[in-house]
Amino acid sequence: MFAVACTRSYIPAGSSEPRELTDFIPCVAWGNLAENCGNNLSKGSRVFVQGRISVRSYETQDGQKRYRTEVVCDFVAQTMGSEHQQAAPAPRASAPQPKPAAPGTGFDSMGSSTDEEIPF
């Protein structure tokens, strides 16, 4: 079991200073995937996690019912960099401009009439 930290920035109402909020998402891996995660991941590793959300309940020793939401991992991959490194944005000047679509392609075959009723 490990946790993935997800940090997002926001600007609170009435403020001009950005703040960060971090959620720690519990993740569970089993079998070879768990072994690989234990051998190859460390605190601060950037990861891509794919899986399903699982909600389970349990009862504490004093009889209270608790719920736990976690990601049951199907796939985990380490990505480039660490938590303190961010990819630099691509320069805009070097990006090629997309060519406009040729007339008569795409959804033009559906017609342009707005007088007809919706077919469903």
CATH number, residue 45? 2.40.50.140
Residue 88 burial (CB count, 10 A): 6
Which pLDDT value is given to residue 80? 80
29-85 pLDDT per residue, tens:
999 999 999 999 999 999 999 999 999 999 999 999 999 999 999 999 999 865 444
CB 31 within 8 A of CB 38: no
Domain assignment of residue 47, given as a range: 1-11+18-81
Asked whether residue 66 is domain-assigned, the answer is yes
Number of domains observed in the structure of the chain: 1
Distance separating alpha carbons of residues 67 and 55, to the nearest angstrom? 7
Q: Is 108 helix (H, G, I), strand (E, B) or coil?
A: helix
Question: 54: closest CA among 36, 79, 73, 37?
Answer: 73
- pTM of the model as a whole: 0.60
